[in-house]
Amino acid sequence: MDNLDTLFKRISHGVYVIGVTDGTVQHAFTAAWVMQVSFKPPLLALSINPAHYSYQLLQAGGVCTVNVLGLGQYALAAHFGRSGKDKMAVGEWQQSPNGAPWLSESLAYFDCKVSHYTDAGDHKIAVCQVLSATHLRPGQPLLYADMGDADGSSGLY
Ligand SMILES: Cc1cc2nc3c(=O)[nH]c(=O)nc-3n(C[C@H](O)[C@H](O)[C@H](O)COP(=O)(O)O)c2cc1C
């Protein structure tokens, strides 16, 4: 088999910051494994490592935002792609009606409610209903393939 890390990066993904809350704590993490999976109802699926602190909050709160990063927002992607409980000091955050934080600097954001989870190997798939979608500014999306090895994934196969 050829190099999976290189070839998986040929499958196009954007880069997103996922805002989560348990109803008290606001937090966020970077994700590339995000996709639309239904028209009616509109559903997005996120693949999340259950070891992440963000997963605890997502499970507890059952809500999230999917914030679309634009070209040039590499530093934001890298910042939220690290663990640490003080990450929300970076970025301008507001609160959606369901309580999840959304990022003003993003191109657009989706306000979501978790519908259900499915197991996927070492990750969980959170299938999320889109409650609202908001365009914030024009721009081209940041692509996962342009992030190099910012997520350290080359060592994980
Ligand atoms: C470009 C990029 C893409 C990432 N994609 C995902 C992803 O799709 N799912 C996931 O669980 N983690 C992904 N990560 C890793 C998490 O963002 C990272 O482990 C982060 O520390 C999790 O945040 P937390 O520990 O504060 O919960 C990605 C990281 C980067 C830099």
pLDDT in tens, 75-90: 999 999 999 999 999 9
Domain membership flag for residue 150: no
Domain membership flag for residue 44: yes
Ligand 1: does its nearest atom lie under 6 Å from the Cβ of 64? no
Give CA separation, 116 vs 22, 65, 119, 125, in Å: 16, 16, 10, 8
Domain membership flag for residue 123: yes
Domain membership flag for residue 9: no
Give CA separation, 9 vs 31, 34, 35, 47, 137, in Å: 14, 14, 15, 16, 27
Q: For 132-153, what is the mean pLDDT?
A: 96
pLDDT (tens digit per residue) in 53-62? 999 999 999 9
Which residue's CA is the closest to the ligand 1 atom numbered 10?
48
Residue 30's DSSP bridge partners are 17
Domain membership flag for residue 118: yes
**Closest approach atom of ligand 1 to CA 87:** 26
Domain membership flag for residue 3: no
As for how many domains the chain has, the answer is 1
Domain membership flag for residue 151: no
Ligand 1: does its nearest atom lie under 6 Å from the Cβ of 32? yes
Name the E strands within the chain.
16-21, 26-31, 34-38, 43-48, 63-68, 93-95, 101-103, 108-120, 123-135
Q: What is the model's pLDDT at position 1?
A: 86
Domain membership flag for residue 1: no
Ligand 1: does its nearest atom lie under 6 Å from the Cβ of 56? no
Q: What is the CATH number of the domain that holds 106?
A: 2.30.110.10
Question: Which residues span the domain enclosing 26?
Answer: 14-144
